[in-house]
Amino acid sequence: MKQHEAVIKVMEENGGFSTLKYLNEKVFKVEGIEWRTKTPFASIRRIVQDSRFFFKIKPGLWALKSHENKLPNSILEIIEESKEPEKEQKYTHYYYQGILAEIGTLSNYRVYIPAQDKNRPYLNKQLKDVTTLETLPSFTYDYIIKTIKSIDVIWVNERNFPHALFEVEYSTNFKDSLTRFHEVMDFNTRMCIVSDKKRTSQFYSVLNLSVYKDIKDRIKFYDYEYLENYYSNPFKFKQFMH
C-alpha cells in the first residue's frame, strides 16, 4: 500500500472526509505501510494537497473527490457556505466551536458550550459530543453567569473558574462579544476572538474604543488558520494561547 492510499483508506472509513488531526491519529496505524520520514505529519499535509484525490474544504479539513457528493450534510453545508461567504456561516461557526471544544479537552479543561448549540452538527457528530459540562459553574454573581453563558465556548479549570472564553465571529461587529468579556474583567480569565484574518483590522478598530480600555490588553485575536494549525498538530497543543 502506498502512503496516499493509506490516507484515502482512513478518509473512506470516516465518511469521505477528515481533519488533519484525525489523519495524524489514524493513518500511521494502517497496516502494510512504512513511513520512513522524520516529518510524517508534513508528509500527510503534502499528500492531501494532491488534487487528483483530495480537495480542501477549510484549513485543516479535507475530503475525497470520489465522495464529493456523498459527504455528510453538515460537511456539504460548510462547502456551500464557502462558496457564498456573504451569507450566514452557521455550519462553519459550529465547526470552529467544535475545534475549540476539542482543544480545550485535550488541554485538560472542562468545556462548556451554550445549551442552544449542543445539538448543532459538528463534523459527523454533534457539539454535545465534544463538551464535558452541562451547565456553567456558579463561580460568581448570577447576573454575570447569565451574561456569559451564551459565549460560544468556555474552558473551565479544576477550581470551577473560567480559564478562557472564546467567541467565533464571522460577520457581527464584535461589540456584543466584547461586552460579554467585560463582565469577567475582575477574573484571571483569557478572552479570545476567533475570526477570519481579513477582519483583523476591523476587530482592532472596535477594540480600541474607549469603552473597552479596561480589557483591551487582555483580548487575543486568533484567525481560523492559526486555530487549525494547532488543532492539526497534537505536539503543539501545550503551546496554544501561550
pLDDT computed for residue 96 by the predictor: 95
pLDDT computed for residue 237 by the predictor: 53
* Nearest residue to 16 via CA among 61, 83, 82, 77: 61
DSSP annotation of 38: S
Grid cell 456553567 — which residue? 136
CB 19 within 8 A of CB 61: yes
pLDDT computed for residue 222 by the predictor: 95
What does pLDDT average to in each consecutive run of 10 residues of the chain (242 residues)?
A: 94 96 92 83 91 93 96 94 85 95 92 97 95 96 97 98 96 93 96 95 96 96 89 64 58
* Nearest residue to 169 via CA among 237, 109, 88: 88
Sequence ranges of the domains in the chain: 3-71, 90-239
Grid cell 455550519 — which residue? 91
d(CA 168, CA 120): 15
3-state SS, residue 209: coil
pLDDT computed for residue 235 by the predictor: 62
pTM of the predicted model over 0.85: yes
pLDDT computed for residue 239 by the predictor: 59
**In what order do the strands lie in the sheet containing 17-19?**
17-19, 61-64, 54-58
pLDDT computed for residue 234 by the predictor: 58
pLDDT computed for residue 241 by the predictor: 63
DSSP annotation of 32: T
d(CA 198, CA 212): 22
